[in-house]
Chain A
Amino acid sequence: MGDVTPAIAVRDLRKVYEGKAAVDGLTLTVPRGSFFGFLGPNGAGKSTTIRMLTGLIPATSGSIELLGLPMPAEEMAIKQRIGLVPDESLLFDRLTGAEFLEFVGRMYNLPRPLAMERAGELLEIFELSNERRKLIAEYSKGMRKRVAMAASLIHRPELFLMDEPFEGVDAVGARLMKEILLDQVRHGATIFLTSHVLEVVERLCDRAAIINEGKIVADVDMRDLRAGSETLEDLFVRLVTGERGVGREFEKLEWLA
């Protein structure tokens, strides 16, 4: 029987900056093997949440458990089992794509020959083998995202934490990345991603939570949503803007007309 503990279990998580809560009492459970979307407007607290989950920043209060292990007490064991694609670049610009992937593999205790072998295979899969000897500094934004995702896969993690993984990626690259992620879920991995492209979340995820001003305002089962008449975008705008809706104040600016 497989492990029944959730992939992510967060209780009453708070992060306060100078008296203002960026994340305010967040409680969330993500079952293993799910594809989970974490949505919210700019500045809602999505990246802060992911950073707390990965141990990059400490929480002000609350508890985090990843793969049944408490963070930060079991930080090393957790890090060994998660794959991360952060919002800020985690790439070393002065390494080539192949060197970087090998380097990351070795950070996860892979022996050098195995890390090199996997690096080559991942570059092939992500259609970067022609660029393998170019410095990452020369890569386009989409290529950088692809390398970042390849790096998150190299140690075969059980849980992926991804902050805007498709940002700047072209349609072909995005399709490829989605297929790889779906395949990972089929093989039992859990994916927790943030994205501003709601159509992507609607199509890929089986569940999504919407965060606004540091608080969860909806926890949506995608099957229910698809069965209804409201799209994820409609729901998102309604929950985030309330009765105000999307403003049309720009019409009042005569010089802009």
Chain B
Amino acid sequence: MILAILRAQVLSMRIRRGGRRAGAIFTAFTSLLFYGFWTFLGIGVLAWFSSPDNAVYFTPVLSSGLFFTMLYWQLAPVITAGFGASLDLRKLRVYPIPHRKLFTVEVLLRLTNCAEMLIILTGATIGLMRNPASAGLRGLLVLAGAVLFAAINIVLSAGVRHWIERLFLRTRFREVAMILLVVVALLPQLLFFLNLRKAGLLRLAPSQIFWPWGAVTHMMLADRAVPAALLVLLYTGLAFWFGRRQFEHTIREDDAGSPRKAAADLKPAGFAERLYRLPSRLLRDPIAAMTEKELRTLFRIPRFRIVYGMSAVFGIVLYLPTYRNPRGASSFLREHAITVTALYGLLMLGPISYWNAFGFDRSAVQGYFSWPIRFRDALVAKNIAVALLLLPQIAAIALMDRLVRLPVSAGNVIETVAVILIAALYWFGIGNIFSVRMPRAMDPQKMNQMGNKMQALSIWTAPLLLLPIVLAYWAQAVFDSKLIFAGVLLIAAILGGIFYYIGLDSAVTAANERRETMMTELARSEGPMSVT
């Protein structure tokens, strides 16, 4: 039965009429880059843990490493709204398949997201097993600890996924809840930033046996192995219970009917409505109408709102320790905290907006080809909508910076707006081409996009695309002149405008040539799993 589900999925993903070939090549390329990077890192970890000379550092390094691994494993999908593949229960529930079998497939599918953490864990495990200190029974403990740690994370992430997807359908304060979740998970950074007393911090150190990662560390290093192993088993059981319970909740809610059915009427007026109507005051139709439509659409998609909110909060919290240091290279980060965080926010929005601009339109993309409008206007309107969204995001970041007492001034904010809008020209230019050449249908209710990989690609291409802006800051540092900075930034803006124009032109040409493929890709329905 499990094999039949997997086979149906593989058959559903076959490349049809060459439409997905470019997308498949791109996916393979990004996967190669992404996993290549993590494999390289994994080999480094392996080498480090193999060396007996490093044994003295194993406890703090392994426990901290496992802590960050677990944090990434559970949090990265939430932040990027990319939980990897999952079962489409609505399609499978009509068949008499026992829930435990469905749950087994669901758990196996968790391997499709955060496989990078498995690579790192494998590196650490092999390294420790190769270490002469882990001979015999100790080697078995290393292996058992690693396997149980992976199991805890896999089952827990299955539960988290179902919990969050249900949360998306239900509460009005889900975004706030999600942001709080991230902030809570980033407590270590906050604690570090707040400069608490060392003794207090040590009591909460990752190496403490009561933490899941601490217990696994003690088990793998055969230090208080019996209580550690018992604790690890307890955590495994709890994770399994949580995962299974959340899965059953989802099934029960599916049976009872989607809560979306009970959705209330949207309020006709109010602040949001005035905001949506803003483009019509500034622009002319059809661009105004399409920008307005885009703003309404994006703000009504929970996963967009989550990423949008996260991008304003997460960057600051994540880099707090870096911002705090007033000396050296990090003093630059501290002085330009708003700009750096806003750039990070722009990158985060990419996969759910400008990298795949038509993803949420799905089959309605044909409208842009059947109404009497220019396709170019549709792309421009989508870009304008995201650009407009960046402005309140910068304001939110400035407010957050103020709260954590980072330097904020009017000049700072103006500089950030200029830098972000210029950077956006470069990213939109590339994003428009990607949106047309590699469109992928996105389900607003699901969290299954290739978030991590797209985010990674955004981050890796950043140095190249941001080169003109980096040059502006470099010129400022060398000549110690704001005027020169403004001059170089102006050149960067002009280049960005040219880059954007060329990208837009190329995207429009490609859209006219590939409109059939685009429509096919965006109307594509999935197999028994959601893996778009």
A and B are partners in one complex rather than unrelated chains: yes
Q: Chain A residues in contact with chain B, CB under 8 A?
A: 17-18, 54-58, 76-77, 79-80, 84, 86, 88-96, 99, 103-104, 106-109, 112, 133-135, 137-138
B519 — which chain A residues lie within 8 A by C-beta? 56, 88
The answer to whether B297 touches A88 (Cβ under 8 A) is no
Q: Decide: A76 near B286, CB < 8 A? Known: A56-B519, A135-B266.
A: no
The answer to whether B266 touches A107 (Cβ under 8 A) is no
Q: Chain B residues in contact with chain A, CB under 8 A?
A: 17, 260-261, 263, 265-268, 280, 285-286, 288-290, 292-293, 296-297, 300-301, 360-364, 366-367, 369-373, 444, 515-516, 519, 523
Bound state CA distance, A233 and B370, in angstroms? 32
The answer to whether A57 touches B266 (Cβ under 8 A) is no
The answer to whether A94 touches B265 (Cβ under 8 A) is no
Q: Decide: A56 near B260, CB < 8 A? Known: A94-B300, A95-B296.
A: no
The smallest C-beta distance from A92 to any residue of chain B, in angstroms, reads 5
Closest residue of chain A to B369, judged by CB? Answer: A56
Closest residue of chain A to B519, judged by CB? Answer: A56
Q: Which of B263, B290, B370 contacts A138 (CB 8 A)?
A: B263
Q: Which of A86, A90, A92, A107 contacts B372 (CB 8 A)?
A: A107
The answer to whether B373 touches A92 (Cβ under 8 A) is no
A57 — which chain B residues lie within 8 A by C-beta? 515-516
B263 — which chain A residues lie within 8 A by C-beta? 134-135, 138
The answer to whether B364 touches A90 (Cβ under 8 A) is yes
A106 — which chain B residues lie within 8 A by C-beta? 285-286, 288-289
Q: List 5 other contacts, CB 8 Å, given A84-B370, A92-B293, A109-B285.
A: A56-B370, A88-B366, A89-B362, A93-B362, A107-B373
User: Can you list 17 contacts pairing A with B, beta carbon distance less than 8 Å?
Assistant: A55-B369, A56-B370, A56-B519, A80-B372, A89-B364, A92-B364, A93-B364, A93-B444, A94-B296, A94-B301, A95-B296, A106-B286, A107-B371, A108-B371, A108-B372, A109-B372, A138-B261
The answer to whether A54 touches B361 (Cβ under 8 A) is no
Closest residue of chain A to B296, judged by CB? Answer: A95
Bound state CA distance, A91 and B301, in angstroms? 15
Q: Which of B267, B367, B444, B515 contacts A107 (CB 8 A)?
A: B367
Q: Decide: A138 near B516, CB < 8 A? Known: A89-B364, A90-B367, A108-B371.
A: no
A-side interface mostly: loop
The smallest C-beta distance from B87 to any residue of chain A, in angstroms, reads 22
Closest residue of chain A to B261, judged by CB? Answer: A138
A90 — which chain B residues lie within 8 A by C-beta? 363-364, 366-367, 370
The answer to whether B266 touches A138 (Cβ under 8 A) is no
Bound state CA distance, A41 and B435, in angstroms? 35
The answer to whether B373 touches A112 (Cβ under 8 A) is no
B367 — which chain A residues lie within 8 A by C-beta? 90, 92, 104, 107
Cross-chain pair count, CB within 8 angstroms:
95
The smallest C-beta distance from A16 to any residue of chain B, in angstroms, reads 12
B301 — which chain A residues lie within 8 A by C-beta? 94
The smallest C-beta distance from B361 to any residue of chain A, in angstroms, reads 7
The smallest C-beta distance from A72 to any residue of chain B, in angstroms, reads 10
Bound state CA distance, A80 and B285, in angstroms? 15
Instruction: Name, among B289, B363, B523, the residue most crowded by chain A CB atoms within 10 Å (CB to CB).
Output: B289
Instruction: Name, among A84, A88, A94, A103, the residue most crowded by chain B CB atoms within 10 Å (CB to CB).
Output: A94
The answer to whether A76 touches B369 (Cβ under 8 A) is no
A-B CB proximity, top 5 nearest: A106-B289, A79-B372, A88-B363, A133-B265, A107-B371
Closest residue of chain A to B378, judged by CB? Answer: A107
Bound state CA distance, A80 and B370, in angstroms? 9
The smallest C-beta distance from B104 to any residue of chain A, in angstroms, reads 30
Q: Which of A17, A94, A138 contacts B260 (CB 8 A)?
A: A138
A58 — which chain B residues lie within 8 A by C-beta? 516
Bound state CA distance, A128 and B515, in angstroms? 32
The smallest C-beta distance from B518 to any residue of chain A, in angstroms, reads 10
Closest residue of chain B to A17, judged by CB? Answer: B17
The answer to whether A94 touches B360 (Cβ under 8 A) is yes
The smallest C-beta distance from A232 to any residue of chain B, in angstroms, reads 29
The smallest C-beta distance from A235 to any residue of chain B, in angstroms, reads 32
Bound state CA distance, A176 and B444, in angstroms? 33
Q: Decide: A135 near B370, CB < 8 A? Known: A89-B363, A92-B364, A112-B280.
A: no
A133 — which chain B residues lie within 8 A by C-beta? 265-268
Bound state CA distance, A79 and B267, in angstroms? 33
B289 — which chain A residues lie within 8 A by C-beta? 103, 106-107, 112
The answer to whether A96 touches B266 (Cβ under 8 A) is yes
Bound state CA distance, A93 and B361, in angstroms? 8
The smallest C-beta distance from B245 to any residue of chain A, in angstroms, reads 28
B261 — which chain A residues lie within 8 A by C-beta? 138
Closest residue of chain B to A106, judged by CB? Answer: B289
The answer to whether B297 touches A107 (Cβ under 8 A) is no
B373 — which chain A residues lie within 8 A by C-beta? 107
Bound state CA distance, A86 and B367, in angstroms? 10
The smallest C-beta distance from A81 to any residue of chain B, in angstroms, reads 9
Closest residue of chain B to A130, judged by CB? Answer: B265
The smallest C-beta distance from A143 to any residue of chain B, in angstroms, reads 13
Bound state CA distance, A137 and B373, in angstroms? 25
B285 — which chain A residues lie within 8 A by C-beta? 106-107, 109, 112
Bound state CA distance, A135 and B267, in angstroms? 11
The smallest C-beta distance from A236 to any residue of chain B, in angstroms, reads 28
A17 — which chain B residues lie within 8 A by C-beta? 17
Closest residue of chain B to A18, judged by CB? Answer: B17
Q: Which of A55, A92, A109 contacts B297 (CB 8 A)?
A: A92
The smallest C-beta distance from A144 to any residue of chain B, in angstroms, reads 11
Q: Decide: A135 near B366, CB < 8 A? Known: A17-B17, A92-B293, A92-B361.
A: no
